[in-house]
């Protein structure tokens, strides 16, 4: 973040650092701290995709785009996860614990995308997915 002066025609002119107010200096420092914290949490691949961002807000928005995608991507992910949930069956040789883990993973993915199944719906699906024996 740099202190800017708005000019005509929405051009941005960078304000010299020696003219910054105490509030602008504080905001710049907080932004640097936030950027540092975000960068320390990233792996090398993700860092390389965000290193050109100038502010912590830009980094955060880029991470959202990289991790969550746009609305169309979210809809596609939700569609695939709902299909997985609708078609889930306990596999031959799979333990009840393993089956429960698979169901829980799918439900967590669906919940993260904004759709919530009731406990009753999940329980019924789990029971229907069990083998007859």
Question: Is there a contact between 82 and 116 (Cβ–Cβ < 8 Å)?
Answer: no
> pLDDT tens digit string along 70-114?
788 888 889 999 999 999 999 999 999 999 999 999 999 999 888
Single out the residue in 68, 85, 109 at which a domain terminates: 68
pLDDT for 17 equals 86
- Contacting residues for 51 by C-beta, under 8 A, at least 6 apart: 39
HEC readout, 33-79: HHHHHHHHHCCHHHHHHHCCCCCHHHHHHHHHHHHHCCHHHHHHHHH
Domain termination site, one of 33, 50, 68: 68
Q: Is residue 80 part of a domain?
A: yes
Does 54 share its domain with 94?
no
Alpha carbons 42 and 68: distance in angstroms, whole number: 16
Classify the C-alpha dihedral 113-114-120-124 as positive or negative: negative
Task: Please indicate, yes or no, whether residues 16 and 59 belong to a single structural domain of this protein.
Answer: yes
User: For the chain, what is the domain count?
Assistant: 2
Q: Which of these, 85, 84, 1, lies nearest to 35 by C-alpha position?
A: 1
Residues 60 and 47 in one domain: yes
Q: What per-residue confidence (pLDDT) applies to 12?
A: 61
Residues 64 and 79 in one domain: no
Which domain does 63 fall in, by range?
A: 4-68
Residues 54 and 81 in one domain: no
Is residue 15, in this structure, part of any structural domain at all?
A: yes
132 falls in which pLDDT band (50, 70, 90)? Answer: confident
């Amino acid at each position: 973040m740099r202190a800017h002066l708005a000019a005509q025609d929405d051009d941005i002119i960078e304000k010299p650092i020696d003219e910054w107010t105490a509030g602008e200096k504080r905001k710049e420092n907080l932004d640097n701290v936030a950027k540092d914290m975000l960068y320390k949490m990233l792996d090398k691949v993700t860092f390389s995709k965000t290193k050109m961002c100038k502010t912590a807000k830009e980094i955060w928005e880029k991470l959202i785009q990289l991790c969550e995608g746009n609305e169309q991507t979210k809809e596609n992910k939700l569609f695939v996860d709902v299909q997985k949930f609708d078609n889930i069956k306990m596999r031959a040789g799979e333990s009840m614990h393993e089956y429960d883990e698979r169901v829980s993973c799918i439900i967590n993915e669906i919940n993260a995308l904004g759709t919530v199944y009731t406990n009753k719906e999940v329980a019924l699906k789990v029971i229907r997915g069990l083998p007859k024996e």
